[in-house]
Amino acid sequence: MVALSALFQPVKLGGKQLNHRIVMAPMTRIRADDNHVPIDLIREHYEQRTTEGGLLITEATLISPNAGGGPHIPGLWTREHIDGWRSVVDAVHKKKGVIYNQLWHKGRVSSSLLMPNNVKPVSASAIAIQGKNSAGQDYEVPRALELDEIPQVIQEYATAAKNAVKAGFDGVEIHGASGYLVDQFITSSSNKRTDKYGGSIENRARFALEVIEAVVEAVGPEKTAIRFSPFGGFQDMNDDTPYETWGYILDQLKNKHPNFSYVHFTEPRLNITNDTGFTDTDDSLDPFRAKWDGVFIASGGYTYDPKLAAEVAETTGNLISFGRSFTSNPDLVERLRNGFPLEKYDRSTFYGGNSRGYADFSNYIQQ
């Protein structure tokens, strides 16, 4: 039975041909070793989820020692990191899959406990996230990056992108979403700078566009992608004019880089802390879809509704990334292709741990 046929239309992405439109969304799983090196368990996890001509996006990966740290989060700045990722990439390529690395700088989401020499985390402005961090403490007030420090941070994205290509990745996805550093510059609630990186939409977009420029220069537009979440909410992000802000960025991107690999947007309804439903909203990604001629990936909530995923793929031509359902269904693509039932995910094993809930879910066995 071909249940959701629109998801099984081939599409070209960067220099690669994909056989279907079901993408594994980037998911932080906190299982690298003490030196941020991806271990064999991580290889096993991605290998299990590989399909021929299917795109996997890795968990967010720290671009440098200054990118916000965190135990067991993988990195991409040492020879060992590159070698660890190479074994993941080789396993995926052996099964003819396509894999991008997600490049991450946490900015103000970090804490001085995680930073080298316990310095303060950095951001666009010295504005703390309201609310408690995952350790139940108040977020720290970050330090606003000085104007003359910004080129160095941008260069770290480019260096990590080069390292990703050295490891064999087919491309990189700049993490420009979910309240991390790039998003902190873009969004009006976290950026109150008065220099050329703050104020107007053009100024708030500057950092993101310069990161894109540097990464494109490092690895080429066909290997460069970015993820955005214009409707924020998460980690205290709220932009005054999301359609105009991200619309401007897309216009710039389209003009400068017609061969850009893809843009990846999270749906406004996305609420990953909620297991039962979605945020109720009238907002939509449609105005962004309308602006973009290239590959567009939509993410958020499709885990609950593969039929909606197929409908969106059908009406928009989008690729759809699945997060939570990929954690517990290594053979998600085959399950959707055949209409097999999905295994429910296990939230308790999302962040950290061992093979349990990570590499021990089995493929569907027909009775």
Ligand X SMILES: Cc1cc2nc3c(=O)[nH]c(=O)nc-3n(C[C@H](O)[C@H](O)[C@H](O)COP(=O)(O)O)c2cc1C
Q: Which residues of the shown chain bind ligand X in the complex (CB under 6 A)? A: 25-28, 59-60, 102, 175, 177-178, 227, 266, 270, 272, 299-303, 322-325, 350
Pick the catalytic residue from 100, 180, 345, 358. Answer: 180
User: Closest distance between ligand X and the C-beta of residue 7, in Å?
Assistant: 13
Query: For 141, phi and psi rounded to 5 degrees?
Result: -75, 120
User: Closest distance between ligand X and the C-beta of residue 194, in Å?
Assistant: 30
Query: For 62, phi and psi rounded to 5 degrees?
Result: -65, 130
* DSSP structure string for 12-60: EETTEEES-SEEEPP-----S-TTS---HHHHHHHHHT--TT-EEEEEE
User: Closest distance between ligand X and the C-beta of residue 74, in Å?
Assistant: 10
In the bound state, the residue with its beta carbon closest to ligand X is: 323
User: Closest distance between ligand X and the C-beta of residue 103, in Å?
Assistant: 10
The answer to whether 180 is a known catalytic residue is yes
Q: How far is CA 152 from CA 32, 64, 101, 146, 158, in A?
A: 26, 11, 21, 11, 10
Which of 144/211 has CB closer to ligand X? 211
User: Closest distance between ligand X and the C-beta of residue 27, in Å?
Assistant: 4
Can you list the alpha helix ranges (DSSP code H) found in the chain?
40-48, 79-94, 150-166, 181-186, 201-219, 242-256, 286-291, 306-316, 324-328, 332-338
CA quadruple 214, 100, 272, 337: dihedral, nearest 10: 150
Question: Distance between CA 287 and CA 282 in Å, rounded?
Answer: 13
Residues involved in catalysis: 180
